[in-house]
Amino acid sequence: MSQPRILTVVLNWRTPDMTLRAVDYALRAMQGLAGEIIVVDNDSGDGSFQKMADHAAAQGWTKGNRVRVVQSGRNGGFGAGNNVGIRAGLSDGSKPEFVYVLNSDAFPAPDAIQLLLRPLLADPTLWCAGSYIHGPEGEPHETLFRFPSIASEFESAIRFGPVTRLLRDRTIACPLPDQDTRADWISGASILMRQSVLDQMGTFDETFFLYFEETDLFLRAHRAGHQSLYVRDSHVMHIGSVSTGMKEWARVPDYWYDSRLHYFVKNHGVAYAAAATCAHLLGGGLNWLRRTLERKPTGTPPHFLRTLLRHDLKFALRALGGARETSPRRAVPADRSNV
């Protein structure tokens, strides 16, 4: 039996040096495996595409189409950019058996992809396997998650130990286990997906510019009866938030609110989305009151709650006004500097 082929997709946005480093690591992890790597430049507009194409050719990576560098033509966000690579398929025009999505700031260990592949080959009920993600100093990153819900919105906003313990089975982030574990969804920094399932249910929803797109993808797979596996021994170092600039956000950008609302409206309906927002506002308000009385910082970004209320209320008023909207209008940064 021939080896299953893997298409590795790495999305670049104005971080060509780091992306090329991720590709170098991916090439090592692909040794002994059949497949190719496709690097998608998400219309960076800063010379990234040419720099990466020249480097790949100079390193001999392009021989035999082991590595291809392509241009997306537009910056439609994380999901849209990865979809460009997934739709491109292998260089001979065929589809791979598996698609491996790797962040441009993520660096897999030499056996990371192989360890993701093994359980997928052994268990046809699995559609996706995801890695254990850690930082540059070995610190574990949140990797394993539950699907968002009304309860999780309240818990994440109130930031109060007794509530977290009461709702421990509804919190978004799960404690990291020491063994392979089934999961609702897994960090999209390093995931190996079965192409046949993507063909069945579709790829990333491009309405999401950034955030919630992988959560939505995993939820669709879950509802179709497919299971996901967190593979503890597949190690990937992840720097995090390099392209998005999340660590330097002064305020949460509009597209985050758009993505959150679209996720709830699309997957649970308008009424559920409204209840989730109310739960978040209630929890956030109680957190603000408690922290104010304690004279401590709230731990939330500036103006977060009022922006959330204003954003979702605008959508509700448009819907009530007969606009027939089923999702929020997506806000894309004018300079596209966040992906």
134-148 residue pLDDT tens:
999 999 999 999 999
Strand runs (DSSP E) across the chain, as ranges?
Answer: 5-12, 34-41, 67-71, 98-102, 106-108, 126-134, 144-145, 181-183, 185-186, 190-194, 227-238
Q: Which of 239-248, 279-288, 290-299 is predicted with the least confidence, judged by mean pLDDT?
A: 239-248
If pLDDT is split at 50, 70 and 90, which confidence band does 321 have?
A: confident
If pLDDT is split at 50, 70 and 90, which confidence band does 243 have?
A: very low
pLDDT digits (tens, 9 = 90+) for 6-58: 999 999 999 999 999 999 999 999 999 999 999 999 999 999 999 999 999 99
If pLDDT is split at 50, 70 and 90, which confidence band does 240 have?
A: confident
For residue 78, the number of C-alpha atoms closer than 13 Å in the C-beta half-sphere is 24
Two tokens at 102?
Answer: 């790797």
| Mean pLDDT computed over 225-242 | 92
Q: Which of 57, 68, 53 is nearest to 16 (CA)?
A: 53
**Vertex 145: Cα angle to 178 and 104 (nearest 5):** 90
Say what the pLDDT of residue 136 is: 95
Computed from CA positions of residues 167, 165, 286, 260, in that sequence, does the dihedral angle turn out positive or negative? negative
> Is residue 330 over pLDDT 80?
no
If pLDDT is split at 50, 70 and 90, which confidence band does 164 have?
A: very high
Percent of the chain with pLDDT over 70: 91
Say what the pLDDT of residue 324 is: 57
Computed from CA positions of residues 73, 266, 254, 15, in that sequence, does the dihedral angle turn out positive or negative? negative
Say what the pLDDT of residue 1 is: 58
> What one-character DSSP code corresponds to residue 248?
G
Q: Which of 64-73, 189-198, 285-294, 319-328 is predicted with the least confidence, judged by mean pLDDT?
A: 319-328
Q: What is the pTM of this model?
A: 0.93
Map tokens 């996901």 to a residue: 228
| Mean pLDDT computed over 159-175 | 96
> Is residue 228 over pLDDT 90?
yes
Say what the pLDDT of residue 246 is: 52
pLDDT digits (tens, 9 = 90+) for 102-117: 999 999 999 999 999 9
| Mean pLDDT computed over 68-92 | 97
For residue 173, the number of C-alpha atoms closer than 13 Å in the C-beta half-sphere is 9
> Is residue 335 over pLDDT 50?
no
